[in-house]
């Protein structure tokens, strides 16, 4: 986006840096410049000095443009370019404006005839999927002058993304299909897998020109966009929220290290069994997506176990015992295997710093991850006390865990939060409080529950499962009080390594992963 003629030099420098980092094309968004000769002159400079072939886009406000209260003079801009003999590689015009504005169409036609300039006809819906999507596409493809058709809409779920992939696969010519916002991120990463012409990236963070747009660095470094082909196997981190998950960076780096043709993308699915079931079923039924595995997080771990059991898949013994799963593997024959790596993710780091047998553990939280942690701790001989804001949910967890154990175990719910005189050897947080992008990123679960800071003594191990950020409010409190701490990367790396082996058959590059987490 270039908002003012004085910003042209900086924009050209940013485009040059993007070219050096692997961009193939630059789109000049000149909405605020299309009103006077100074703006037209700035546009000519952008095109003439562009370090890459360029798309010139002056977007109307109805479809996401940012002209500041003035209707852009696009016919005037196009004619000024023709007069100066300055032609972009493509010009983007909204399909609705192309049909309704005769002067715009004539001026654009002059630009198209002035050199090697192609027409992108586009449609953008920032509310949701257009009801007349098929009709809009038919109208655009029917235009004689069109070079590329672009369709973008705000996704309501990841099922919209699957439809966008279908549109690209069935297109009668070069096409761009993008779903905006968080449910559409996978369309920005995977478009090349389905034959999409291109994807859009911002030159840096906080420079997006559409909701859900990724940066060039994210596309190339986190998602290895250039390596994705039609045969690439797709994995997802599925839950809500997943926007700040480190799983894609970790696993995609791992895939690159071991030469595995796979990519992991975020797959947000809102809470509820029906939304989970519908989303996963659609992805499994989409043959060309080639969904090969999922890392499933809050709030869908119980849903994953239920889904795999209902479709006749395999549940590992730990899933049977926990009633929750965080890992899905789709085997070559299409059969499903659900596993739970969370339990080992908690136990492995703890074993390295304390004896678990006969210890007394304060467990904060009562969700699926807490259930898995409780079962693992009890199996190793610990005594577990559950603390949670919802007493009903905590009591339900205690009852459920007892029913899943072969022998009598010591687990109980206690109201409030852990206190210093109760003899705890460890405090483990399995809530999302303190998580970046979560419901309480600045809150400590100890404060929320009414626990005593004095419980965080130098004889206590504090383990926070939250890994983004590593220095959570709880970890900061523990460090200030002298407690031993285990940050969330310890659990994250331990459980992710088991997932990685399940999916690839190879050991995870733990040193590289540890560097990424640091």
| C-alpha–C-alpha distance, residues 426 and 136, integer Å | 60
Among 177, 208, 227, residue at a domain's last position: 227
Among 179, 195, 227, residue at a domain's last position: 227
What digits encode the pLDDT tens for the residues 32-52?
Answer: 998 899 999 999 999 999 999
Of the candidates 415, 338, 402, 355, the residue with the CA atom closest to the CA atom of residue 375: 402
Give 495's pLDDT tier (boundaries 50, 70, 90). very high
Output the domain CATH number for residue 72. Answer: 3.20.20.70
166 in the same domain as 18: yes
Residue 358 has pLDDT above 90, yes or no: yes
User: By mean pLDDT, which of 158-167, 394-403, 429-438 is the weakest?
Assistant: 429-438
469 in the same domain as 326: no
301 counts as catalytic: yes
Exactly one of 193, 277, 301, 360 is catalytic; name it.
301
244 in the same domain as 204: no
481 in the same domain as 363: yes
Give 210's pLDDT tier (boundaries 50, 70, 90). confident
Residue 67 has pLDDT above 80, yes or no: no
Residue 227 has pLDDT above 80, yes or no: yes
As for how many domains the chain has, the answer is 3
Instruction: Report the pLDDT averaged over residues 434-458.
Output: 94
Give 64's pLDDT tier (boundaries 50, 70, 90). confident
Helix (H) or strand (E) holding 105: helix 102-112
- How high is the pLDDT of residue 298? 86
354 in the same domain as 279: no
| C-alpha–C-alpha distance, residues 271 and 432, integer Å | 15
350 in the same domain as 331: no
| C-alpha–C-alpha distance, residues 386 and 366, integer Å | 7
Give 70's pLDDT tier (boundaries 50, 70, 90). low
| C-alpha–C-alpha distance, residues 232 and 252, integer Å | 12
Residue with the larger pLDDT of the pair 437 and 346: 346
Of the candidates 34, 21, 108, the residue with the CA atom closest to the CA atom of residue 77: 34
- How high is the pLDDT of residue 236? 98
Buried b (16+ CB within 10 A) or exposed e, 387-416: bbbeeebbeebbeebeebeeeebebebbee
156 in the same domain as 27: yes
- How high is the pLDDT of residue 204? 85
The sheet carrying 360-364 orders its strands as 411-413, 383-387, 360-364, 426-429, 461-464, 484-486
Output the domain CATH number for residue 257. Answer: 3.40.50.10860
Among 181, 201, 227, residue at a domain's last position: 227
292 in the same domain as 176: no
The whole-model pTM stands at 0.88
Half-sphere exposure of 29 (CA within 13 A, CB side): 18
334 in the same domain as 356: no
Q: Which two tokens stand for residue 205?
A: 């963070």
327 in the same domain as 252: yes
- How high is the pLDDT of residue 69? 57
135 in the same domain as 26: yes
Instruction: Report the pLDDT averaged over residues 429-455.
Output: 93
What is the rounded (10 degree) CA torsion for 275, 281, 282, 283? Answer: 110
What digits encode the pLDDT tens for the residues 231-281?
Answer: 999 999 999 999 889 999 999 999 999 999 999 999 999 999 999 999 999
What digits encode the pLDDT tens for the residues 364-417?
Answer: 999 888 998 999 999 999 999 999 999 999 999 999 999 999 999 999 999 999
What digits encode the pLDDT tens for the residues 85-132?
Answer: 999 999 999 999 999 999 999 999 999 999 899 999 999 999 999 999
Q: Is 74 helix (H, G, I), strand (E, B) or coil?
A: helix
Instruction: Report the pLDDT averaged over residues 58-84.
Output: 87
> What φ, ψ does residue 498 adopt, rounded to 5°?
-70, -40
Residues with Cβ within 8 Å of residue 344, at least 6 apart in sequence: 376, 494, 495, 498
Give 172's pLDDT tier (boundaries 50, 70, 90). confident
Domain that holds residue 275: 233-340+494-517
3-state SS of the chain: helix, strand, coil percent to 5? 45, 20, 35
How distant is the alpha carbon of residue 201 from its chain centre? 15
Angle at 460 between CA 455 and CA 462, to 5 degrees: 90
* Cβ proximity of 474 and 462 under 8 Å: yes
- How high is the pLDDT of residue 351? 95
243 in the same domain as 185: no
């Amino acid at each position: 986006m270039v908002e003012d003629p004085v910003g042209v030099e900086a924009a050209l420098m940013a485009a040059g840096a993007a070219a050096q980092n692997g961009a193939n094309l630059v789109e000049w968004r000149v909405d605020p410049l299309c009103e006077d000769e100074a703006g037209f002159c700035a546009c000519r400079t952008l095109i003439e000095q562009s370090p890459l072939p360029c798309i010139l886009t002056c977007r109307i406000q109805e479809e996401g443009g940012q002209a500041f209260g003035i209707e852009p003079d696009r016919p005037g801009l196009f004619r000024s370019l023709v007069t100066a003999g300055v032609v972009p590689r493509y010009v983007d015009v909204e399909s609705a404006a192309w049909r309704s504005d005769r002067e715009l169409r004539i001026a654009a036609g002059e630009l198209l005839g002035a050199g090697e300039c192609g027409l992108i006809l586009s449609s953008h819906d920032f509310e949701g999927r257009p009801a007349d999507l098929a009709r809009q596409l038919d109208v655009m493809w029917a235009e004689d002058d069109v070079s590329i058709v672009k369709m973008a809409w705000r996704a309501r779920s990841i099922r919209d993304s699957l439809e966008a992939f279908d549109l690209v696969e069935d297109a009668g010519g070069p096409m761009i299909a993008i779903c905006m916002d968080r449910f559409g991120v996978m369309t920005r990463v995977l478009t090349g897998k389905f034959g999409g012409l291109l994807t859009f990236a911002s030159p840096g963070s906080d420079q997006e020109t559409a909701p859900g747009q990724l940066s060039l660095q994210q596309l190339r470094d986190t998602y290895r966009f250039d390596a994705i082909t039609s045969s690439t196997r797709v994995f997802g981190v599925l839950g809500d929220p997943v926007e700040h998950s480190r799983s894609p960076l970790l696993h995609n780096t791992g895939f690159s290290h071991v030469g595995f043709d796979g990519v992991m993308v975020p797959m947000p699915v809102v809470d509820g069994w029906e939304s989970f079931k519908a989303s996963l079923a659609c992805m499994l039924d989409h043959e060309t997506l080639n969904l090969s595995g999922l890392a499933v997080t809050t709030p869908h771990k119980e849903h994953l176990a239920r889904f795999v059991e209902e479709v006749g898949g395999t549940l590992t013994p730990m899933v049977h015992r926990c009633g929750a799963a965080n890992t899905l593997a789709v085997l070559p024959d299409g059969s499903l295997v659900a596993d739970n790596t969370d339990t080992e993710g908690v136990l492995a780091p703890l074993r390295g710093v304390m004896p678990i047998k006969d210890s007394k553990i304060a467990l904060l939280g009562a969700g699926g991850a807490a259930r898995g942690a409780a079962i693992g701790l009890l199996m190793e001989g610990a005594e577990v006390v559950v603390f949670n804001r919802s007493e009903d949910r905590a009591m339900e967890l205690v009852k459920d865990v007892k029913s899943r154990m072969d022998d009598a175990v010591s687990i109980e719910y206690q109201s409030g939060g852990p206190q210093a005189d109760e003899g705890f050897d460890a405090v483990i947080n399995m809530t999302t409080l303190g998580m970046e992008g979560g419901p309480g990123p600045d809150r400590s679960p100890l404060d929320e529950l009414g626990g005593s800071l004095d419980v965080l003594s130098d004889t206590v191990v504090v383990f926070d499962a939250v890994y983004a950020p590593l220095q959570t409010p709880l970890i900061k409190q523990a460090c200030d009080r002298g407690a031993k701490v285990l940050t969330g990367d310890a659990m994250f790396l331990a459980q992710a390594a088991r997932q990685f082996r399940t999916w690839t058959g190879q050991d995870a590059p733990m040193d590289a992963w540890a560097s990424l987490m640091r």
